[in-house]
Chain A
Amino acid sequence: MDSFPLRQKRSSSQNLSALQARLQPYLPTAKYILKRIGIYFLTVLGAVTLAFIFFHLMPGDPLSIVFSQLEKTNLGRVTGGAEVAEAYKRLLGLDQPLPVQYLLFLRNVLIGGFDLGPSFVAFPTSTRDVIFRQLPWTIGYFTSAMLIAWLIGTTIGALLGWLRRIGLTSVAVGIATLLNITPVYIIAIAAIIFFGYHLHWLPTGQPYDPGLTPNWGDIEFIKNVLRHAIMPIASVVLVWGASFSLGMRSLMISVLGEDYLSYAKAKGLTPFMILRDYAFRNALLPQVTALGIALGNTINGVLILEAIFVVPGVGGLFVRAMAIHDFNVMQGVVLLSTVAVLTLSLIVDLLLPFLDPRIRRSND
C-alpha cells in the first residue's frame, strides 16, 4: 500500500518531469484544495440564491405586513398605510419583476459589498451598517466563548476518554451530560439572578455600564466590558464545553479501540506518546469539523442569549427584525451566517489533509 501512487505516464516533456516528480507528492493536495475552493464558491452562490428565493417567493407582501403591523402596534398614530408601503416598495426596488430583482440582488450582494438596502429595524441606517455595527459584539462574546469552550472541552474530553477506566470520570461524564442538555438560557438566568442580583458580584445585562463613553483605548472601559462579558461567556462555555468534551470523549474511546494503537503499544511507545500522537490526533479531526460547524451556527445559539443578556449583537437584532418583519435585516443575518459557516468549513476542510493523510488520499 503506497501512499502516493506514481503517475509519471502523464508527464509529457522530460524537462518538466523532474519538477513534476518533485511536486508529485503535493499534487493531490493542491488538486483537493482547488476543488474545495471551487465547491465553496458554488455553495455560496447557491446559498445566496436560496436566501433570495426564501425571502421573495413567500406569499404575502412583506411591506404591507410591516406597515399594517406597525400601524396597529402604534395604535393608529401613523399616517398612510397602503400608500406608505407603496412608497417604500419603490424605494427598495420591489416593484421590479422578480428576475430583475434577483439580478440586482446578486449584484448588490456580491459586487456591491453586501448592500441589502435600508433596514427597517434601525431605519434609515442601511442593513449592512446595522449588521456590521452589531456583529463585533456577537463575535466578541459568543465566537470567543465557543473557542474557549472548544479548547477546554476538547482537552477535558481527551482526558476523560483516556482515563475511561477510572470510575471517577463517569461522575464528570454525568455532569457534562447534564450540562450539555440543560438549555443554556436556564443557566444564564440562574447565573444572572445568583451572581448578579443576590451576590452583586457581576453586572447583568448591557455590554458595559450605561453612561460610560465607549473608548477602546481606555483600559478601564475595556475592564468594564470584560466584567459584563463574564456571565454570557461563562454560560456558553459551560454548555458548549460539556458538549465538546462529550464528543471528544466518545471519539477518543472509539479511536483507542483501533488496531494501530495496539500496534503502537506493542512497539513500546509510552502511553503519553500514544495519547498525543495517535489517539488525540485522530480524534481531533472530527472535533475540528464540529468546531467549524458550531462556530458558523453561532447565530442559532445566540438568538435567546443575546436577548437575555441585552447584548447588542446580531441575534438580538434578528429577533427584533423578526418581530416587525424586517426582511432586509433577516435576509442579511441569514446570508452572513451562511457565508460564515461556509467559510469556516472551507478552512476546516483545507486543514483536514494536513491532519489526516487518509483524506488526502481519498480525494485524489
Chain B
Amino acid sequence: MFTKTNKRRNIRTVPLFIFVSASLLLASCAPVAAPTAVEKEVTRVVKETQVVKETQVVKETQVVKETQVVTQTQIVKLVYGNLPRNETLIIAGTASNDVWDTFSMMSGPLTNAYSGYQQVGIEQAFLFAGGKYYPYLAQKWEYNKDGTEMTLYLTTNATWNDGKPVTIDDWTFTLDYLHANKDKGVPFGTMLDTTKYRTDGTDKIIFSFFDAKDPKKAVPNWRFHQSIASFVPLAKHVWEGQDPLKFKNNPPVEAGPYKLVSCNADTKTCIWQRRDDYWKKDEKLSPKYIVFTRQPEPDLLTQDLISGNFDLSQLNAKLATTAVMPKNPNISMVEWPDPCPRQLMFNMEKAPLNDPAIRHAMSLLIDRERAGKLDNPAAKPGVLPWPYQGDPTSPFVDPADLKNYDVGVFDPAKAAQVLDDAGYKLVDGKRVDQNGKPLSFSIMTFDPSVHGAAVNGFPQMMAEEAAKIGVEILPKVVEVGVFFDNAQKGNFDMMYQWVCGAPQDPLAAYSFLHSRYYKPIGTATGFGQHLGYKDPATDALIEKVEQGNPADPALADTYKQLFHTVTSQWLYVPLFSLYQGFPWNNEYFTGIKNQVEPWYWMYQFRGMLMYIDPTQK
C-alpha cells in the first residue's frame, strides 16, 4: 500500500518542486516588463529628452565621471543624467502626495507642492515677499476713492513657455473659466459672485465689488489686491474646453521662468530648465537647472547632505549641527519662523471653560520656554498671533494689554491665586467648581512627528503643574484624522491650533471669531469655529476691519480693540512661534538669507531665487 503510492510519488517530487518554484518566480517577474503604464512613461520621456541631447552625450558623461574620481581636477561633476552640478540647484522636499504627471492647481489642495511647478513653473500676478509686492504678470493696482473698484495693470510683454504671448484674453478667459467651474471647488471660483470685471481690451482690468445679496449695492474691498496677487492666469489656447479636475497640463504651459524637462514618478524627481526666452529680462536666475526631488528618511538625508547631494532640504537642526555640519563645512543652517504661531483654543460652550478666570489660569500654567526647547530649532514662547522677530511691539497691539492679562506668562502660583479668587476652592487636594465638581480638562494635540515635539510636550508639562494646584489635565494625543474630526464636531475641551495672522494686516487672527462662523457642538458639517463664542461687539469690530483699508492708520485702533478683546477674555492663548530649520549647501550657490521668508513655500521660492548667487566653482 505504501510502496505503490510512494513509487508514483518518487518520480514527481523534485521536478514538481522545481516547476512550482520556477513558475511562481516567472509569474512574479513577468509583470515588471509588461504593464502599459510603464511603456507609456517610456515614450513620453524619450520624447522630452530630445530637448537635452541624445546618446552620445550620455556616453561622454560616464567617461568624465570615472576620470573625475581619479584626477580630482576642474572637471565639472554631472548629476541627474547630464546636468552640470555647478549650474544645478537641487531641492529635496517633503511632498505629501504622488502627483508627478499633473501640473494644475485646479484641484485645490490635491497638488504636489514640491514638484517645482508652483515654485518655478507658474507665474503669479505679484510676488509678496518680505512685506513687499513685486510685479510679475501684473504691474500695479489702484483703488478708487471709496474702495469699491480696483484697476489692475497687466504686464504686456509676458509670454507663455510655448512662445505665445500672455494677453488680456487669457486673463478674462481664466476669470470666466474659474467662475464657470466654481462648483468643482477651483481657486477663485467664487470670486465673481461678489466681483464684476471690465477691461479696456489692452492692459487694464477694472474690478468692482458688490454685495452678494444685492448685486446693485457696491461695497468696499480694500484687500482685493492681497488675493489677486496670487492669481495665476491660464493659457487660453491650452485650457479652453478642458475639465479643470481632469486636465493634466502636461507638459505645463505657463509663464514662469523655468520649463519642465522631465518629471519621473519612479524616482520622484522633476527637472526644470531655465527658459532662454523668459520675458522678464532683469530677473536674476542663477541656476540653469533646478531639480526637485523627494527627501529620504532623516538618517539617509544626513548622508546625502554630507555628500553634498542636495542644496536645500528640511532637517532637524540638532541632526544638522551635530551630524552634518562637522563633516561638510559647506552646509549652513537657515531658519525661518512659521507663519502661523500656535495657540491654545478653548471650548467655551463647556462649563466651566466659559469662565475667563479658568482660561486665564490655564494660560498661566503653560511653561512655553521649557516646552519650546524640545524642538530643534527651539520654538519661541508665543505672544502675538502672527510671526514677529522677538519684539512683540506692533502698531496693532496696546503694550498695556500684554502686561495686564499675562500674555505668554508662566506663573503657576498666580494660576492658583486666580482660581482662588474666582471661587474654585481646594477640597481634599482637588479644586472644585461651584457645584462641587472637580476641575478636569483634556487637551487635544496630535502626533509630534507632524508639528514637532513642543506641541506634544506642553500638555504633559501643563498636567504636571496643574496637578500641583489641584486641577486635572489630561493630555490627549490623537491621530491627525481624529484631531480634525473632533475639532469639527466641537468634541474637545482645549485644543492646539494655529492662527495665521499677517503682521501687516492681522485680520485672519480674529475673523474666525465672527458669529457667522459659529457652529454649535456636534454639527460636523462645515469648517466654522466650534469654540462656542458669539459676541455682537466683537462681530462689529471684525466687520469694521473687514471693510476698512489696511493702509489706513485709523484701522490700527480697531485692531488694538480686537487684540484687547482676545487677551482680556483669554478667548485663545498663545503657545509658541515655531521655527523651521533648513540645511543649505553653500558649495555651488550662496547668499541665502536667514530668518526671512519660508523658502520652499510654493511661489515664495521665487523670493529666494531673486538673490542667490553661483559660487563660480
Binding site for B on A (CB under 8 A): 1, 3, 59-61, 64-85, 87-88, 91, 120-125, 129-130, 132-133, 135-137, 139-140, 143-144, 147, 150-151, 189, 192-193, 196-197, 204-216, 260, 263, 276-278, 280-281, 284, 288, 291, 295, 307-308, 310, 312, 317, 320, 323-325, 351, 354-355, 357
Contacts and interface: CB of A to CB of B under 8 A. Distances in A.
Contacts of A196: 303
A67 B31 contact: no
A193 B296 CA distance: 13
A76 B507 CA distance: 14
B185 A121 contact: no
Contacts of B24: 147, 291, 295
B362 to A, nearest CB: 23
A77 B37 CA distance: 33
Contact of B527 (A81, A133, A354): A81
Contacts of B68: none
B110 A120 contact: yes
Contact of A210 (B10, B107, B186, B293): B293
A193 to B, nearest CB: 7
A192 B297 CA distance: 11
B266 interface: yes
Contact of A124 (B6, B25, B102): B102
Contact of B21 (A82, A147, A216): A147
Contact of A123 (B6, B110, B189, B601): B110
B41 interface: yes
A69 B481 contact: yes
Interface in B84-119: 96-102, 107-111, 113
A119 B274 CA distance: 32
Interface stretch (B74-82, B403-411, B456-464): B74-82
Given A67-B109, A123-B107, A144-B28, A277 B13 contact: yes
Main secondary structure of the interface of A (DSSP, over half): helix
Contact of B268 (A140, A263, A310): A310
Contacts of A64: 488, 524-525, 527
Contacts of A215: 42, 46
B542 to A, nearest CB: 18
B540 interface: no
Contacts of A130: 98
B294 interface: yes
B297 A307 contact: yes
Interface in B4-26: 5-6, 9-10, 12-14, 16-17, 20-21, 24-25
A284 B13 CA distance: 10
B20 A121 contact: no
Contacts of A122: 97-102, 265
Most buried by B among A69, A291, A323, A357: A69
A210 B45 CA distance: 12
Contacts of B527: 64, 68, 71, 81-82
Nearest to B482: A60
Contacts of A320: 96-98
Nearest to A131: B37
Given A91-B245, A277-B9, A324 B108 contact: no
A98 B403 CA distance: 56
Nearest to A129: B37
21 contacts: A68-B484, A69-B480, A69-B484, A75-B340, A79-B186, A82-B526, A84-B109, A123-B99, A136-B38, A137-B266, A150-B21, A204-B303, A206-B268, A207-B267, A209-B81, A210-B80, A276-B13, A277-B13, A312-B268, A323-B96, A324-B97
A147 B81 CA distance: 33
A151 B28 CA distance: 14
Nearest to B291: A210
A70 B307 contact: no
Given A70-B110, A79-B187, A320-B97, A132 B35 contact: yes
A271 B219 CA distance: 97
A205 B9 CA distance: 46
A263 B3 CA distance: 11
B188 interface: yes
A139 B96 contact: no
Contact of B524 (A61, A84, A213): A61
A281 B481 contact: no
Contacts of A139: 28-29, 31-32
A72 to B, nearest CB: 7
B282 interface: no
A135 B25 contact: no
Given A67-B109, A139-B32, A82 B96 contact: no
Contacts of A214: 38, 41-42, 45, 264, 266
B300 interface: yes
Contacts of B307: 197
Contacts of B303: 192-193, 196-197, 204
A243 to B, nearest CB: 17
A150 B303 CA distance: 33
A208 B246 contact: no
Nearest to A67: B109
